[in-house]
Chains A and B, each alone.
Chain A
Amino acid sequence: MKVRRALRFLCRGALLATLALGLFAGSFTPYSYAHQFRGIPNAAPSAAHWLGTDALGRDLFTRLVYGTRVSLLLAPAAALIASIIAAILGAIAGLRGGWLEKIILACADLSMSLPLLFVLIALRSVLPLDVSPVLSVIATFLALGLIGWPASVRVVWAASRDLRDSDHLLLAQALGYRRSQILFHQVLPCLRPVFLAQFWISIPLFILTEATLSMLGLGVMEPLPSWGNLLRGSEDFSAMAANPWRLVPLLVLVHTVICFQFIFPGSEEIA
């Protein structure tokens, strides 16, 4: 148990450090993420370029820290959108019941049965490929937020349904509380832990999905960096053996996703 607690503490520290790296990217590097050092493409790491440069001569460390900002700020934003949609729909389904519950759950089941990546690719293709990088970032993470809610709906629905039959809600109704009072003072505080859990679970999922989309050329567009399109530069694995520092973006991504898995106490610890 102590090891687990220490691991959780370490993971939280590492996540905060990575987030700080992204937030204060400008303080860690003097270059712009799009600046090209045309004389030194594919350079090896040096004092001036800690992770070397890419094929276009851009500083890889600079792109990594700015990419961290994009991935680590927008994935939580998308997770927030998905969690809010899930909370609203799940609470309505669980508390109201009846035909509304059936429709919401059927929609969630249909959405869950389709592969997320496929739906994202289909939605992304509606926009032209030559959209501006900023618009591509917004479109990618907005699509993730708008599509990523179905799995969370079922969890929120189950929690709300249990709440519907609870004694304290019955008591509140018997005491003549208004519906809004019951919703804001009785229901939402009880659903908060479920909402937060769904929010934190969605973040690594969205980080990974963005990475795959960007590697397929359908996510964040160049020259804006994200962890996904930084990995796009590492498509040639045989070149990786000669340039192992090119693996750093992948290691940062894997490390971040693993940290997200450990930041919560396990059920046996809560008990």
Chain B
Amino acid sequence: MRDTQAAPLVQVEGLKMYFPVHTGILRRHTGNVKAVDDVSFAIHQGETLGLVGESGCGKSTVGRALLRLYEPTAGRVVIDGEDIATLSHEALRRKRPTMQMVFQDPQASLNPRMSLSAIIAEPLTEHTKLTAAQRQNRVYELMDQVGLNRRFANRFPHEFSGGQRQRIGIARALALNPKLIVCDEPIAALDVSIQAQVVNLLEDLQDTLGLTYLFISHDLSMVRHIADRVAVMYLGRIVELSPRDDLYARPLHPYAEALLSAVNEPDPDRAKTRKRILLKGDLPSPANPPVGCNFCTRCPKVFARCLTEKPALVQVEPGRQVACHLFETIHPATGSTGGSEAKEHLQHGVTQ
């Protein structure tokens, strides 16, 4: 293992992903859906960063823009020393083996007309010079790794169950020995009993292959299980980025607090004493976010400054970054942001 204090494997700075809105007869560009608005974070080699938030907060968009499956509107995405966001298409294609993705819907994300072995072997034909026999061996090897029977090699995706299909998706992602895997809600489409299997498989693979994960999920307990650090997103922005244990023990941002209070407690006695923070109102439209803090319309601790000024993501405690005016006033030393459009320089703090 390399020294984790060295340059992080993934460094995202000021990532913006706007989808243009065209209206009227002339389809004029009248606005933007700010799916991801100025997001910065870093992921270190061998680490799992959890990315949580409610539906529509832009977490999947972050994952896709990170691998440039979308063309980001602005920002830098440095993966393994190269800025993905500005690479030429051909260079990007050559770079793809280092970064792979496991998709949410294991049925739709596999080509229905290709057999399992063709699906896994395809990137090998494109990016390596293996012979057909070597490729087939590698396919078998990968199938063993993800726990698929070798007899299934010539079957088609529709002949598998959901969990097996997700294993195919993982084997496919692993084929080229990637360093980074973006897991975009890999377990959301699976039965609960299968979810644990897949998550354990991902963990085992991380241990044996030294993988780095960006684990996108809305399942807070699953993220708690797998992630080292967790980023909480709300309406296109990261509101809190903290080590897992700190976050789950004592969330700082009011939204993170409310979100975590929604986690079910299996112990009925403790569940009785659990305090649910119920947020009022609806998620504002990402096409027209509030002028001030994105959370100001629903925040239980809102005050005057929140309505006019966007808080920046700043380090408030060692390793913990929060975007909230409440904490900036407590820690003025780190909170000099200089206005709402301040460029957020990434402060990748201490890792565990």
A and B associate in one complex: no
Residues of B within 8 A of A (CB): none
